[in-house]
Amino acid sequence: MSITIKPTRIKQSVYLLVPKSIVDLIELEKKTQLSLTLKKNGQKHILEYTLE
């Protein structure tokens, strides 16, 4: 499954906000830890999050 999201800029940082429907689907909580892996696929970059 893939979704399209737009980055949100706050001051000098950029955030990728997780939509509420995805938060509910994966039962994401404030204490949940995520790992981010960056992968290159030709000219594109893939951001892959893993729940721990």
pLDDT tens string, the chain, 52 residues long: the values are 778 889 999 999 999 998 999 899 989 998 999 999 999 999 999 999 998 8
Rounded Cα distance between 51 and 35, Å, is: 7
What is this structure's pTM?
A: 0.62
Angle in degrees, CA 3, 5, 11, rounded to 5: 160
